[in-house]
Structure 1
Amino acid sequence: MSGGHQTLALVLFSAFVAVTLGITTWVSRHRRGSAEEFYAGGRLFSPMENGFAISGDYMSAASFLGISGLIALFGYDGLLYSVGFLVAWLVVLFLVAELVRNVGRFTLADVVAARMRERPVRIAAGTSSVTVSVLYLVAQMVGAGSLVALLLGGTSGAARTWTVIGVGALMVVHVSLGGMRATTWIQIVKAVLLMAGAIALTVLVLVRFHGNVNDLLNTAAAQSGHGKDFLAPGLGYGGDWT
């Protein structure tokens, strides 16, 4: 990355951090400290705002880097993987979230604890949640930290390590000070920025191919090294299933 581009990246990154910290500070002044506020944002968000927040939550580094890489490597199979989370989201929505809401609780552990012995349920739920979160967050923090280090021009191992620590500390500050309300607003901002960037890139790619999607797909297949198999199912599993 050239010096001018690195300076621009640093300015944009600093501006985003400043905006998100400003949102967190603003929200923290109006917190009441209730469980409803922490878990549900005080139920102050409209369906549209919640929709943007959910979109921002799903459009993570894994979505824009990992899924893009899978599509670049495996074509059609990678594209199918990119919509797989929607199936899991619907299962959680109808089989878990709706039932939790109907009994007036905030978490699945609350629901189970209301019907069984509370202490063993809390221990099991807490242990499993922390274990899964740690395994998931380690990968997320390493990916995000490495990306930020590259964005800011740091290539050494020490720079990447400190960037990962810095990103993790920043997330802790956001959640601990602002709770779910601040997290929701940050996810809304994130969703708007990511969708705007994705739309801009889509338009630029379509302009490059004069709006001809067929030409775009044929060019991608030709450059992939797999030929027409790139656009057919089975490439990611070692065979052609057509």
Structure 2
Amino acid sequence: MYLVISAASAFAHDFYSHVLRQGKATEKEQMKAARWASVGIAVFSILLALGAQKMNVSFLVSLAFCVAASSNLPVILFTLFWKKFNTGGAVAGMLTGLIGSVGLILLSPNVMDAATAIFPLKNPAVISVPLGFLGAFVGAKLYTKKHKDNFEEIVVRANTGVGAHGAVEH
């Protein structure tokens, strides 16, 4: 229940209010978006649970860690240790890791029949984590040619919120 509330409030506040409505959503609109997001997240979770009800819970947890590591680890490490890492690299790394890990899970023997599975491994982290690093690296290199934001901008946004959509500028 707490995860549904957390995800719905994040959707309503961050995505709906700041991305879709460019910071102009009222509290009433945000509440309505949060309610609909709660319903959508709950239905999606139920369908996902029905599809995975015969799977081992500890194995499902390892798949969740695979997805989290593939999309978050490259961004965290590059943000900490690469001064030229930027927003484009962060977005590209997260999307590449997420799409790569979920895609490989869907093509693996976990979801498909073992005889017809396209990807042979049950846990794709050995492929999807490096894929996330590659996506973050390529995204950071491509994004710098068009934009001037850099490591310092990411650090300032992460620690203060200044410069983000809807944030108060001083």
Give the TM-score, by structure 1 length: 0.22
Name the structure, 1 or 2, with higher relative contact order (CA <8 Å, separation 6+).
1
Instruction: Select the structure that is richer in helix.
Output: 1
Larger radius of gyration: 1
Give the TM-score, by structure 2 length: 0.29
